[in-house]
Amino acid sequence: MGDSPVPQNYIPILIFIGVGIVLGTLILLLGKFVRPNQPYRAKLAPYESGSPLFQDARVQFPMRYYIIAMLFVIFDVEVVFLYPWAVAFNSLGLVGLVEMVLFIAILVVGFWYAWKKGALEWD
């Protein structure tokens, strides 16, 4: 058991990965040979959600869009940390409550700062 280059427990996993790769490749190749391939001008034209393009795809978005998106992601991720705390609330005691109040206070200060700087204005 110690001299084997691959432990015996990993052999079924390797077989499963191999079968997945072989079947995936075979299905893709079979689809390439079976499907109809009749390209024409309208079919090869780029489209956007089924509609023809009406402007260049390389449009510059305002910086405010990215700031609001980043603020959303930051606050969304921070709120996710509230769920494990709520589940373990009874076992954390007063220390857990104080830490979460401090955490929420930091979030509120960050939100207030972004609001005062005008980062949440969509104008």
Please report where in the chains the tokens 């955490």 appear, as a residue.
103
C-alpha to C-alpha distance for 91 and 97, rounded to whole angstroms: 10
pLDDT in tens, 106-117: 888 888 888 888
φ/ψ of 48, rounded to 5, equals -125, 105
Long-range (24+ apart) CB contacts under 8 A made by 28-35 are none
Second CATH level (architecture) for the domain 63-116: Up-down Bundle (1.20)
C-alpha to C-alpha distance for 102 and 85, rounded to whole angstroms: 13
pLDDT, position 69: 83
pLDDT in tens, 18-71: 999 999 999 999 999 999 888 888 777 776 666 666 666 677 777 777 888 888
pLDDT, position 16: 96
Question: How far is C-alpha 67 from the geometric centre of its chain's CA atoms?
Answer: 18
- Residue 78: exposed, middle, or buried by beta-carbon count in 10 A (0-12, 13-18, 19+)? middle
Please report where in the chains the tokens 């058991």 appear, as a residue.
1
Residues listed for the chain: 123
- The residues spanned by each domain of the chain are 8-52, 63-116
pLDDT, position 120: 75
pTM of the model: 0.45
